[in-house]
Amino acid sequence: MNNPAQRSRLIFIWSWIFALCILALLFVFFYVSMRCGHLMLAGNGTTNCVVGIGTFWIEGAFVAAALFSLYRVNRLMAGG
């Protein structure tokens, strides 16, 4: 794969796949943190809920990084 345009296109496609997978995980952890929020309001908060909410924010950071890499790849493909 010596063609730079083809390599950039492949990186762009894999970045989108990566971002979509992380986005799916983000929605799963968002659901878990919402359910844990109801448990905490009821006075039944557990350590699992804290781990779930922490993981939700970590996943959000990964999504932000993936979207930034998509932006950079798109800029590189455009020649800038």
Tell whether the model's pLDDT for residue 71 goes beyond 70: yes
Q: Using CA of residue 21, residue 22, residue 25, residue 27, what is the dihedral sign?
A: negative
Number of residues in the chain: 80
pLDDT at 40 over 60: no
CB atoms within 10 A of CB 70: 16
Residue 45 has pLDDT above 60, yes or no: no
| Domain spans, the chain | 28-80
Q: Which has more pLDDT, 53 or 63?
A: 63
Residues 6+ positions from 48 with CB-CB distance below 8 Å: 36
Q: Is the pLDDT of residue 28 over 60?
A: yes
Task: Round the average pLDDT of the chain to a whole number and report it.
Answer: 71
pLDDT above 70 for 1: no
Residue 80 has a pLDDT of 57
